[in-house]
Copies of this chain bind each other. A is one copy, B any other.
Amino acid sequence: MEKSEVFEKGFELIGNSKIVFLATNDEKGYPIIKGMLNMENDGLKRIWFGTNASSKKVSRIERDQRACVYCVDEENFRGLTLVGDIGILKDPESKRRLWREGFERYYPLGAEDPDYCVLEFTAKKATMYHGLEELTLEL
């Protein structure tokens, strides 16, 4: 596998994923996976999610910023694992930028809703799996 495949196919894979999988650590150090709506990304380096500030996931992230994002293309036997750190953004600009039509269902007060926040994941390394091959790159 070439380095370019990690970037090009990885980028394509994120772009085509409606849902990606986010793992964070609970208070006992157990990894916890949850499916997340794939909202916005900057290449493989940064991924943003909108979520509930009151959720258990946000409490986990307040305690421990280590995280992983995974997406998969089952048909083509490709998977992408991104490992890095995740932070919580509550500034109005980030919240407005990630706001999507229909979110009123979840956050009745709109983009300013105090229960709405943004997660910013920053990848430190990327591993692309393709069939039996895999390649890890530092980002």
Contact = CB atoms under 8 A, between A and B. Distances in A.
Interface of A: 18-19, 21, 23-26, 28-35, 64, 66-70, 72, 74, 79, 81, 83, 106, 129, 132
B28 A23 contact: no
Contacts of A129: 34-35
A132 B70 CA distance: 22
A70 to B, nearest CB: 4
A28 B28 CA distance: 15
B132 A32 contact: no
A68 B106 contact: no
Contacts of A106: 132
Nearest to A69: B33
A116 to B, nearest CB: 14
A21 B18 contact: no
B19 A68 contact: no
Most B-side CB within 10 Å, residue of A28, A30, A34, A74: A30
